[in-house]
Homo-oligomer: A and B are copies of this chain.
Amino acid sequence: MEKKIKKSEWDITNCPVRTVLDRFGDKWSILVLLVLGEKQKLRFNEINKEVGSDISQKMLTVTLRKLEADGFIFRTIYPEIPPKVEYEITDLGKSLVPHVDNLTKWAVSNMPAIKRSRERFKK
């Protein structure tokens, strides 16, 4: 059953909405980005604490690597023992923060309405 794609802009690989969500729709990326947006430099374990410490080491590593790959943060490795690594937000990362903040504000002021709607829907 073939279906034709009417508008090429909706192609998944080109869709801008999708490209954002694919990066930030995961569980930890935005949280980590916001934490690094508030502080200047943070070490691995400091981020772990700031995020709320229910993130596993593994997922923090994975999340930081993805953010670094996309250019939102950068890593500075100090060749010491025990190891020391500092994470810092880039200008690109900073430019995204206000948008997330706006979305957060929207969420805060509209959550009551959403929750009411959900309750109504259950019945």
Tell whether A38 is near chain B: CB-to-CB under 8 Å: yes
Are A17 and B71 touching (Cβ within 8 A)? no
A69 at the interface (CB under 8 A from B): yes
Contact check, B11 vs A21: say whether CB atoms are below 8 A apart: no
Map CB proximity to B onto A52-77 as digits: 1 under 8 Å, 0 otherwise.
11100000000000001111000000
Q: In the complex, how many angstroms separate the beta carbon of A24 from the nearest chain B beta carbon? A: 7
**Chain A interface category by residue count:** 35 or more
Q: Of B3, B34, B116, which one neighbours A17 at CB under 8 angstroms?
A: B34
For A106, what are the chain B residues with a Cβ–Cβ distance below 8 Å? Answer: 20, 95-96, 99
Any B CB within 8 A of the CB of A80? no
A42 located at the interface, meaning its Cβ lies under 8 Å from any Cβ of chain B in the complex? no
A110 proximity list for chain B (CB < 8 A): 92, 95-96
Give residues in A with beta carbon < 8 Å to B. Answer: 3-7, 10-12, 15-21, 24-26, 30-31, 34, 38, 49-54, 68-71, 92, 95-96, 99-100, 102-104, 106-108, 110-111, 113-114, 116-118, 121
